[in-house]
Amino acid sequence: MKKIGVRVIAFFLSIAMLFPALASAGTSTPGLPLRIEINGEKVTEFSKEPFFDENDVVFVPLSFLSDSLHMRVEQSGNEIIIIYDRKKLEFKSGETLYRVNGKAGQFKTASVVKEETLFIPLQGICEAFGITYKWDGLVNTSYLIWNGEPDPDVILPIPAPVSSDVSLQQDQLNGNLADFGHVASTDKYHFYVKQSIKQDVLYRYDLKTKQTKQIASGESIYNLVPYGEWLYFLGDNPGSGSHDAFSLYKIKMDGTKKSIVGKKNDLARVFVIDKGWIYFGNWQDQQRLYKMKLDGSGLKKLGDVEVGRLQIRGDWLIAADWNDVYIYTTAGQKIAEFYLRGRNMTVIGDNLRMSGFSGEITTIPLKAGSLLQDTLKIKSADVLTQVNEIDIEVINYKNNIAYMYFRGTSHIYKMALDDEPKPVPFVTIPKSGSVQEIQIAGNYMYYTVIYTKDGHRIIKRELYRVSLVGQVKPEKLYTVNQ
């Protein structure tokens, strides 16, 4: 598996080999194009072409930092904030003064605006973040190398051991919750939701008898979590005054004794359950991270993170807002915070996987050690011939296999997560449809196909079930016209 941009220890062993004869400033070679390499790999895509001036100062568009170096970039007028590796760089466009975590510094050259695009001095940014920068005027190339020393405060402690059975259950739960959690399973049942604009219906499918039974209905039902004899889920909260406010419900697996867990004002958008505790984002406190017991007692705030996504791995909670990922213990101790770009966050086994844009699956091992990132870059002629840009719209995992849907394609693909990933078609999507959700239940996949009008309004929804073992034709479970 290939290491990404700015954190590759392999290059730390022999940096000198990459720079055999570097020229000094002011010695660029006329006629040769500008080239930028990150750890030996040429950068080929820019939102706007970089350039260098008569002093060999290389300028790159501001978007280069997020696109190629995976930094978090914020711009408000002429004020720029760049966050990476627990460092916060602040400066104003057109000025040379900057601050890193409050400490003053100065660029040799200020940023410039060209064709309505802000270009920033690449060497100055690299030096502010401790990234090794070299310029070779003989070949007009800027080389970037990370110094290989992780920040000590983002080194993970040794996690509590997780049994294989618990790990497999958590993997499946996490993968489904990353895709809205409309499917869940036990060793006896599959639970799935028939979604419609007017009413959701919850079904139980018996694996032994092959019989399906309706066990609940409501305006909205999602985030299915089986625990003990109960099935927990989020549902509509009549009279809450907010379309986005949901209450936490539980119901016996035979469909009886449906009730609200806790108080009605303890509303949630996401939640997980472990060892008798419910962990969730509390709507009444700006979706901050909370926990409470299964009976709704013992309500306690764990952290100030605004929870948009929530996963669990043993006694670690992995929460994400819209920009950053946070790791807490279930007791409320904050372990780490870092920026990770992507659409879908899923914790599988000992790995956190983030995917979505540009055909990348980024992995961070959740083991003792530093938070080094690996990125799997998906390249396949079968996919590239169908889409201009590989964009992972939906993904889920079973063991070491990823099942994914690329925007604009006609298949769900499966792919082994190895060093040479090659997606292969798994199931064909009906014409004019696209995949909205992929859920895993035991050895089965449930996937939702939607049909839209005017490019965004859903007019029809279908749910399919297919075995992950053998060549079995998908079974359509329902069609809803909306």
Question: The domain spanning residue 125 has which CATH number?
Answer: 3.30.457.10
What integer pLDDT is reported at residue 283 of this predicted model? 86
What integer pLDDT is reported at residue 95 of this predicted model? 95
Q: Would you say 282 and 267 are in contact if contact means Cβ atoms under 8 Å apart?
A: yes
Provide the sign of the torsion angle of the four alpha carbons 27, 30, 35, 40, taken in this order: negative
Across the range 151-179, mean pLDDT stands at: 80
Q: Which domain holds residue 135?
A: 9-149
pLDDT in tens, 429-449: 999 999 999 999 999 999 999
Going by their DSSP bridges, the two strands 35-38 and 141-146 should be labelled as parallel
Across the range 14-20, mean pLDDT stands at: 41
Across the range 15-29, mean pLDDT stands at: 49
pLDDT at 455 over 50: yes
Residue 191 within a domain? no
Going by their DSSP bridges, the two strands 277-282 and 288-293 should be labelled as antiparallel
Nearest Cα residue to 192 out of 109, 135, 200, 122: 200
Most confident of 34-48, 110-124, 329-343: 110-124
What integer pLDDT is reported at residue 132 of this predicted model? 87
- State the SS3 of 31-54: CCCCEEEECCEECCCCCCCCEECC
User: pLDDT grade, residue 7 (50/70/90)?
Assistant: very low
User: pLDDT grade, residue 146 (50/70/90)?
Assistant: low
Residue 56 within a domain? yes
CA distance 20 to 61: 28
User: pLDDT grade, residue 15 (50/70/90)?
Assistant: very low
Across the range 279-284, mean pLDDT stands at: 91
Across the range 145-164, mean pLDDT stands at: 64
What integer pLDDT is reported at residue 333 of this predicted model? 92
pLDDT at 149 over 70: no
Min mean pLDDT across 24-33, 64-73, 209-218 is at 24-33
What integer pLDDT is reported at residue 457 of this predicted model? 87
What integer pLDDT is reported at residue 93 of this predicted model? 93
What integer pLDDT is reported at residue 240 of this predicted model? 52
Round the average pLDDT of the chain to a whole number and report it. 85
Min mean pLDDT across 136-140, 186-190, 298-302, 373-377 is at 373-377
Residue 473 within a domain? no
What integer pLDDT is reported at residue 154 of this predicted model? 58
What integer pLDDT is reported at residue 12 of this predicted model? 32
Check residues 323 and 249 and name the one with the higher pLDDT. Answer: 249
Min mean pLDDT across 107-111, 220-224, 332-336 is at 332-336
Check residues 29 and 273 and name the one with the higher pLDDT. Answer: 273
pLDDT in tens, 240-280: 555 556 889 999 999 999 999 987 767 788 999 999 999 99
pLDDT in tens, 376-413: 878 776 666 666 567 889 999 998 899 999 988 899 99
User: pLDDT grade, residue 31 (50/70/90)?
Assistant: confident
Q: Would you say 269 and 283 are in contact if contact means Cβ atoms under 8 Å apart?
A: yes
CA distance 305 to 101: 20
What integer pLDDT is reported at residue 418 of this predicted model? 75
Return the percentage of the chain with pLDDT > 90, whole number: 49
pLDDT at 473 over 70: yes
What integer pLDDT is reported at residue 338 of this predicted model? 78
Residue 90 within a domain? yes
pLDDT at 151 over 50: no
What integer pLDDT is reported at residue 384 of this predicted model? 62
What integer pLDDT is reported at residue 222 of this predicted model? 93
What integer pLDDT is reported at residue 267 of this predicted model? 79
User: pLDDT grade, residue 454 (50/70/90)?
Assistant: confident
For the chain, how many structural domains are there in total? 1
pLDDT at 372 over 80: no
Total Cβ atoms within 10 A of residue 2: 12
Residue 295 within a domain? no
Residue 271 within a domain? no
pLDDT at 10 over 70: no
Residue 76 within a domain? yes
User: pLDDT grade, residue 16 (50/70/90)?
Assistant: very low
Across the range 18-38, mean pLDDT stands at: 67
Return the percentage of the chain with pLDDT > 70, whole number: 86
CA distance 368 to 287: 29
Residue 38 within a domain? yes
